[in-house]
């Protein structure tokens, strides 16, 4: 094949016309004669197409071997199509280059290279080494062009935006310049690639049948029949469409017949000169398929009776396949129609149901379907996580391979230096003895020639390995750049997806808020319709719309710590508020994921060893990521209780509790079932968390007998268990909060310190939020009824889990000052909403649940730690001391009044009159 192609001289006029005929991805374009003539006159202006004949290794059994194939690159799909000849209408198959890598081995046959895709490895062979390098470089550039940006459509180049063209051209020029550093660009081999290669004869093979693809036999038959029909039409309509080869080529055109190869048909049409090719191409292309880029040359053949029978059989086969596909299409449409009718019947049954029980059953059926879809979504999520893990493993493999390649490069360079030194030494050793007279010239000459021949072979091998090394370096460089570009695109798409999901959550929350306002307006004329909308809004989830996407559902039923995302309230308006709040939380989380959350996770990942510092304080205030929270909490708790902690102390307390029952055990047992009713870990009958919580509370009751157990300690210990999961760690967390962080007598029987903090909060509210306190005082609202529980359980019952745990992150580090900051921030966050309420009862009802409507954790944190400044600890201590004195004085006065009352009552009991009958005196009467 190499010799046959090298003997063919090239023609600029012929190549330009052929390139224009193959410029489209679907076939030659028909243009005005003037335009075709201009293109023929300026071949350099036309874009060069990547096409040509290569040998492909494949087949099975005795047919296995090298087969000649015509390859053509499609820029729109980044696919490399191949067929048996350039004149075939349909391709045999294609190779997806978007995810392919290229390789050439120095020890393989000359011109052999590989294209490795995720599914298979294709071995190709070019006529020469220059052609191989040209194909490899061009394929690299085409792959980079495809990944750098969307290519312009071949049929409408003017529709490409003007701003994309120059930018892409500059980027491709930069990439080409960077690749030159590894491997110099290879010049276009004349006559072996591009449009000119289509005008050359098909490379001959040892066996004619060996070149036929049995795997794609149907496509081969279609191409054969298409060629027969095209040649018959060409004989009757355009007898001058065949191209005569140049007399300088030394080859005569042939139109062989399959039944008699090598014979000239009797009625062969007259051949025209090659210069008529551009004009004749558009006429023939009207009768050829547009599914594959090809060239218009065909073969003139007789249609024998046998060929007609084969053609008719093939046509029957095609029609049978088409009929079968139509039947399958009818079945699919029938199933779709049946599904639509079933959905219509379900909707009709729902509307026609006379009783609520029937409608409820239909709704339950829909709920079961939603649950099934939810399980499918979870399965897809697990699959996505496994794929993410596999991607990380692939990245590690790539890094290892890069290191291995670097080692090979160093080793190769060292070998080259050794070979060069040995070559110089051998040359010196064999040239020096020639001057000595006692050696025979004949033997010296023979040795010298053999050594020179070996040196030449070694030089050739060195050059081959050097070329392979340079190409592999360029391939690694480009694949790395493509991988980075794909990673950036994926990151941008994920950010866009998060933004769209956040916008969807915001729109849905606005819809629910509108429904709630309509519900509050109590529009009687549309009450039924409004009630229906509310039910649909509470039951509908975005994931029920389609089960194909993993990320469609904006909120899940439970969060990562087991709390219900949308609490199940009894009142419809509270249900709507809970759904709105869940959507808003999801929206804020998605919007802040890339800008705030991900950089925060990176900062925590970089923080290897924990130590007190300003940076750690700022990180704790911003919130600890879930994967780092158990480790950080254990470190914070250990710093609080290291003077109390002794090995085995918790087990001793448990064994002491098993020996005798604590007086508070009954109260602990009652409070276990009331701990976080919206958390699946404490409500599930098979969960181990209630038993762990019981043991932690009993151990603490023996640890601190002065307190024993106080209502509220169960919630503190439950939060510690959810985060730390270990009983002993949760126990020491409870000890740190009660005995170290909170002031003394905070959980005593009198709750002295708790009452003091409520009065301190009133003073701070008057200082920081005077307008709000004046409004509440006008309506006689006592905030202690709401805020007392906040301080007692550190917001455990008030805030959603995401914000609650951020509060605890700072609380375990800084102490009770954080509780005051967040209490003030909560009122500041909802100040305007409270100011709009003008009734005391309405204000109390709003304060019952208004903390659950807080969804923007970043905004609340900024208010707590920025807007509430200055907030010195000295001021807090002074206020606590002042209010403690007042409260103790009030308690002493109360005790004095109590003693006076008891003394007066005892005096009155002694002076009770004798005439009154006691209860005991009448027991014996009938």
3-state secondary structure at position 114: strand
Q: Rg (Cα) of the chain, in Å, rounded?
A: 43
pLDDT at 393: 92
629, two tokens: 């929270």
pLDDT at 732: 95
- C-alpha distance from residue 318 to each of 88, 219, 324 (Å): 18, 11, 10
Q: How far apart are CA 542 and CA 505, in angstroms?
A: 10
pLDDT at residue 184 is higher than 90: no
The mean pLDDT of 686-704, rounded to a whole number, is 92
Q: 468 Cβ partners below 8 Å, 6+ apart?
A: 104, 105, 106
pLDDT at residue 465 is higher than 80: yes
pLDDT at 767: 94
- Over residues 228-285, the pLDDT tens digits come to 776 665 555 444 433 333 333 333 333 334 333 333 433 433 333 433 334 443 444 4
Percent of the chain topping pLDDT 70: 68
pLDDT at 242: 37
The mean pLDDT of 753-777, rounded to a whole number, is 94
Residue 871, Cβ neighbours under 10 Å: how many?
15
Q: Which of 417-421, 584-588, 695-699, 743-747 has the lowest mean pLDDT?
A: 584-588
Residue 53 forms beta bridges with which residues?
70
Residue 161, Cβ neighbours under 10 Å: how many?
8
Q: How far apart are CA 520 and CA 622, in angstroms?
A: 37
Q: Which of 195-209, 540-554, 733-747, 901-915 has the lowest mean pLDDT?
A: 540-554
pLDDT at residue 823 is higher than 60: yes
Enumerate the domain spans of the chain: 48-148+185-202, 314-423, 578-893
Q: Choose between 520 and 420: higher pLDDT.
A: 420
Torsion sign over Cα 40, 45, 47, 49: positive
- Over residues 575-604, the pLDDT tens digits come to 556 666 666 666 665 666 555 677 777 788
Report domain 48-148+185-202's class.
mainly beta
In this prediction, residue 189 has a pLDDT band, given cuts at 50, 70 and 90, of confident
- C-alpha distance from residue 350 to each of 361, 373, 838 (Å): 9, 21, 43
Most trustworthy range by pLDDT among 142-151, 625-634, 846-855? 625-634
Q: How far apart are CA 52 and CA 31, in angstroms?
A: 24
pLDDT at 280: 41
Q: At what angle do helices 572-592 and 441-521 cross, to 10 degrees?
A: 150
Q: How far apart are CA 767 and CA 761, in angstroms?
A: 10
531, two tokens: 């009630």
Torsion sign over Cα 344, 346, 352, 356: negative
- Over residues 607-619, the pLDDT tens digits come to 778 888 888 999 9
Q: 82 Cβ partners below 8 Å, 6+ apart?
A: 54, 56, 69, 70, 71, 72, 91, 92, 93, 94, 95
The mean pLDDT of 500-510, rounded to a whole number, is 68
Q: What is the pTM of this model?
A: 0.49
Q: Choose between 161 and 891: higher pLDDT.
A: 891
The mean pLDDT of 867-881, rounded to a whole number, is 92
According to CATH, the topology of domain 578-893 is Cyclin A; domain 1 (1.10.472)
19, two tokens: 């390139």
Q: How far apart are CA 453 and CA 426, in angstroms?
A: 12
- C-alpha distance from residue 126 to each of 5, 53, 195 (Å): 12, 8, 16
pLDDT at 601: 76
- C-alpha distance from residue 919 to each of 796, 916, 926 (Å): 51, 10, 14
In this prediction, residue 774 has a pLDDT band, given cuts at 50, 70 and 90, of very high
pLDDT at residue 717 is higher than 80: yes
The mean pLDDT of 744-753, rounded to a whole number, is 90
pLDDT at 106: 76
- Over residues 275-318, the pLDDT tens digits come to 333 444 344 444 444 444 444 443 334 457 777 888 888 889 88
- Over residues 30-47, the pLDDT tens digits come to 344 444 444 434 444 445
Q: How far apart are CA 187 and CA 14, in angstroms?
A: 20
The mean pLDDT of 764-773, rounded to a whole number, is 94
Q: How far apart are CA 766 and CA 683, in angstroms?
A: 41
221, two tokens: 């038959």
- Over residues 63-110, the pLDDT tens digits come to 678 888 889 898 888 889 998 888 888 888 899 888 888 888 877 888
């Amino acid at each position: 094949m190499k010799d046959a192609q090298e003997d063919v001289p090239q023609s600029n006029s012929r190549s330009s016309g052929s390139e224009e005929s193959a410029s489209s991805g679907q076939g030659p374009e028909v243009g005005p004669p003037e335009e075709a003539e201009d293109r023929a006159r300026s071949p350099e202006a036309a874009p060069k197409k990547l096409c040509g004949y290569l040998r492909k290794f494949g087949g099975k059994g005795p047919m296995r071997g090298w087969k000649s194939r015509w390859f053509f690159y499609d820029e729109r799909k980044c696919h490399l199509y191949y067929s048996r000849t350039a004149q075939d209408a349909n391709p045999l198959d294609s190779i997806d280059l978007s995810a392919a890598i290229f390789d050439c081995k120095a020890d393989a046959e000359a011109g052999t290279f590989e294209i490795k895709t995720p599914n298979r490895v294709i071995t190709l062979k070019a006529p020469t080494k220059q052609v191989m390098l040209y194909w490899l470089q061009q394929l690299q550039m085409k792959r980079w062009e495809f990944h750098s940006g969307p290519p312009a459509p071949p049929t409408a180049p003017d529709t490409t935006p003007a701003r994309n063209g120059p930018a892409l051209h500059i980027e491709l020029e930069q990439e080409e310049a960077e690749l030159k550093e590894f491997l110099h660009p290879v010049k276009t081999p004349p006559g072996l690639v591009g449009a000119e290669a289509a005008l050359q004869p098909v490379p001959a093979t040892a066996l004619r049948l060996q070149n036929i693809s049995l795997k794609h036999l149907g496509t081969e038959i279609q191409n054969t029949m298409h060629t027969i029909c095209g040649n018959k039409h060409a004989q009757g309509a355009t007898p001058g469409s065949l191209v005569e080869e140049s007399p300088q080529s030394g080859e005569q055109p042939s139109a062989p017949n399959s039944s008699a190869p090598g014979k000239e048909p009797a009625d062969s049409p007259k051949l025209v000169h090659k210069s008529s090719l551009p004009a004749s191409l558009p006429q023939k292309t009207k009768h050829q398929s547009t599914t594959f880029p090809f060239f218009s040359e065909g073969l003139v053949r007789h249609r024998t009776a046998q060929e007609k029978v084969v053609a008719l059989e093939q046509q029957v086969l095609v029609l049978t396949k088409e009929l079968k596909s139509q039947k399958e299409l009818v079945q699919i449409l029938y199933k779709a129609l049946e599904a639509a009718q079933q959905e219509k019947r379900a909707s009709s049954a729902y509307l026609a149901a006379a009783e609520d029980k029937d409608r409820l059953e239909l709704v339950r059926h829909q709920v079961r379907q939603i649950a099934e879809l939810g399980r499918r979504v979870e399965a897809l999520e697990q699959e996505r996580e496994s794929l993410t893990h596999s991607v990380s493993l692939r990245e590690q493999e790539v890094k290892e391979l890069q290191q291995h390649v670097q080692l090979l490069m160093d080793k190769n360079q060292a070998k080259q230096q050794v070979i060069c030194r040995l070559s110089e030494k051998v040359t010196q050793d064999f040239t020096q003895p020639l001057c000595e007279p006692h050696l025979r010239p004949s033997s010296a000459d023979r040795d010298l020639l053999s050594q020179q021949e070996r040196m030449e072979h070694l030089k050739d091998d060195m050059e081959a390995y050097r070329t392979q090394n340079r190409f592999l370096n360029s391939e690694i460089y480009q694949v790395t750049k493509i991988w980075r570009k794909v990673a950036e695109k994926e990151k941008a798409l994920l950010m866009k997806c998060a933004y769209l999901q956040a916008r969807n959550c915001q729109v849905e929350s606005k819809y629910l808020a509108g429904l709630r306002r309509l519900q509050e307006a109590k529009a009687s004329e549309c009450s039924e319709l409004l009630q229906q909308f509310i039910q649909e809004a509470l039951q509908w989830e975005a994931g029920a719309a389609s089960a194909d996407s993993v990320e469609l559902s904006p909120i899940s039923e439970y969060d990562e710590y087991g709390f219900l995302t949308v609490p199940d309230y009894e009142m419809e308006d509270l249900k709507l508020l809970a759904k709105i709040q869940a959507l808003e939380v999801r929206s804020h989380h998605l919007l802040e994921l890339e800008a705030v959350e991900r950089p925060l996770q990176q900062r925590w990942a970089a923080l290897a060893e924990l130590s007190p510092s300003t940076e750690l304080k700022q990180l704790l205030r911003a919130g600890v990521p879930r994967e780092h929270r158990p480790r950080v909490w254990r470190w914070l708790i250990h710093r609080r209780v290291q003077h109390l902690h002794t090995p085995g102390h918790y087990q001793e307390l448990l064994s002491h509790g098993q020996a005798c029952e604590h007086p508070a055990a009954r109260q602990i047992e009652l409070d276990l079932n009331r701990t976080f009713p919206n958390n699946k870990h404490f409500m599930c009958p098979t969960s181990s968390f209630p038993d762990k919580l019981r043991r932690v509370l009993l151990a603490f009751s023996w640890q601190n007998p002065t307190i024993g157990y106080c209502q509220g300690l169960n919630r503190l210990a439950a939060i510690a268990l959810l985060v730390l999961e270990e009983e002993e760690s949760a126990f020491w967390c409870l000890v740190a909060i009660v005995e170290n962080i909170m002031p003394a007598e905070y959980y005593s029987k009198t709750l002295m310190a708790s009452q003091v903090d409520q009065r301190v909060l009133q003073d701070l509210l008057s200082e920081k939020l005077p307008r709000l306190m004046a409004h509440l005082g006008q309506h006689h609202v006592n905030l202690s009824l709401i805020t007392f529980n906040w301080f007692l359980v550190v917001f455990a019952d008030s805030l959603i889990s995401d914000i609650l745990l951020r509060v605890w992150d700072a609380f375990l580090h800084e102490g009770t000052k954080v509780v005051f900051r967040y209490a003030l921030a909560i009122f500041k966050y909802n100040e305007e909403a409270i100011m709009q309420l003008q009734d005391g009862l309405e204000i109390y009802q709003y304060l019952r649940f208004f903390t659950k409507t807080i969804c923007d954790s970043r905004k609340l944190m900024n208010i707590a730690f920025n807007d509430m400044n200055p907030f010195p600890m000295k001021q807090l201590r002074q206020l606590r001391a002042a209010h403690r004195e007042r409260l103790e004085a009030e308690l002493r006065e109360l005790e004095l009044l109590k003693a006076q009352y008891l003394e007066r009552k005892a005096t009155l009991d002694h002076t009770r009159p004798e005439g009154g009958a006691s209860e005991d005196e009448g027991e014996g009467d009938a």
